[in-house]
Structure 1
Amino acid sequence: MTRAGLDRDTVVLAALDLVDEIGLDALSTRRLADRLGVKSPALYWHFRDKAELLDLMAQELLRPTSSTTTSDWRADLAEGARDRRRRLLSRRDGARLVAGTRPGPDAARQAEDGIAELVAAGLDPASALHTLIAVAHFVTGFVLEEQAAAQREIADAGTAGEAFPLLSAALEKGGAPEGERSFSHGLTALVDGLARRVPGPAEGERP
């Protein structure tokens, strides 16, 4: 424990819990201090400013857990994407929090492992990093839309089926644009496309 009887982890977790209640836009150091029962200046023993607090919150949200890899880099890449989506969806405004924040050392180690696996599959390090970034940005962007859709009022479609029959049929069969089937379709298409850039024998496998 440090100044004011708090440690950094306690402050960061309290901030994430507060965002769950009031949303990212309403988060302030004053409200966080009130939640923790301290004065605002006491928080600055743990972070320099609100920007650093947001960085720490994002790093906590994406903190890697122990995981196993398989012999199929595409399966591992897809599972990493699904895990990222689960984490972002686990907190209110999770995708907005992560977008634009700085990764910490845990993310760097995770990226190093991911690059190593893709290099072993045949990519050069730069292409491997770009592959990881492309997948991460797809997931974050998709969850941004998911979380925005969950918070806005969905307008009544009314006669949309008559005016837009193909769109209506697509939605009836495939579900919401922000749904699980849409995510899986996009992820599969992305990973399959990336696989075409990797020399290797398993051209027909799916993640």
Structure 2
Amino acid sequence: MVAASFQPRALQAKGGSSDRHGRGCSRAPGRDGTTRQWHHWQSWFTDNYRSFRRTLLHHRDGARLHAGTFPSAEGLDRLKGKFAFLVAYGVPERDAQMAMLAASRFTVGGVLEEQAHAEPEPTGVGSAIDPDEAFEAGLRLLVHGLDRRRDASQ
């Protein structure tokens, strides 16, 4: 992992493109170890957990099989790269770690519930909550909270 590849300000100084916060675009590690260029950390964060959710849903009992596992040494390196990506966009390191832990647990828990129930849960007011809609709403809330923490730290 090369930390310099996660420095949007350095890219901006070299004439790279910038996002709505005046920061240059940066590269973030993906689940498969490859990197992709991102202009907004929020898009990367949500896409990361959408991909994780799809992977868990793709396998029968995927969430149950994943729950309680720990990353390998290679997985830890990818996680460190993801933390560095968020930090490069101004997210305090501890907040980046806690947000990714919260989003991971939110994703696993949601998929666990989804895979345990064949039918949508009733809300008690006559309509069911769509699991996709609930997941997207939860991700938006996590990103909004993390964005506020990021803004407060600057």
TM-score, normalised relative to structure 2? 0.70
Structure 1 position 111, deviation (Å): 0.9
Structure 2 match to 1:182: 134
Structure 1 match to 2:62: 94
Q: Is the 8 A contact 2:95 2:146 kept in 1?
A: no
Structure with greater helix percent = 1
Determine if the alignment matches structure 1 residue 109 to structure 2 residue 109. Answer: no
Query: With CA pairs under 8 Å and 6+ residues apart, which has the higher RCO, 1 or 2?
Result: 2
Q: Is the 8 A contact 1:121 1:199 kept in 2?
A: no
Q: Is the 8 A contact 1:149 1:178 kept in 2?
A: no
Query: Deviations for 1:130-183, whole angstroms, at most 9, x for unmatched residues?
Result: 111111111111101110112xx779x8xx9xxx5xx11xx2xxxx43521121
- Are residues 188 and 68 of structure 1, via their aligned partners in 2, closer, same or farther at CA, if it must alter by over 3 Å? same
Distance 2:150 2:120 in 1: 41
Which structure is larger by alpha-carbon Rg, 1 or 2?
Answer: 1
Structure with greater strand percent = 2
Determine if the alignment matches structure 1 residue 120 to structure 2 residue 88. Answer: yes
Equivalent position SS for 2:149? coil
Q: Which one of 41, 44, 49 corresponds to residue 81 of structure 1? A: 49
AA of the residue aligned to 1:136: S
Determine if the alignment matches structure 1 residue 198 to structure 2 residue 150. Answer: yes
Number of residue-to-residue matches in the alignment: 122
1:119-158 equivalent positions in 2, closer than 5 A: 119-150=87-118
Gaps of 5+ in 1: 1-62, 201-207
Gaps of 5+ in 2: 1-29
Structure 1 position 97, deviation (Å): 0.9
Distance 1:69 1:149 in 2: 37
Structure 2 match to 1:64: 31
1:160-179 equivalent positions in 2, closer than 5 A: 167-168=125-126, 171=127, 176-177=128-129, 179=131
Structure 1 position 107, deviation (Å): 1.9
Equivalent position SS for 2:117? helix
Across the aligned residues of Structure 1 and Structure 2, the Cα RMSD in angstroms comes to: 2.5
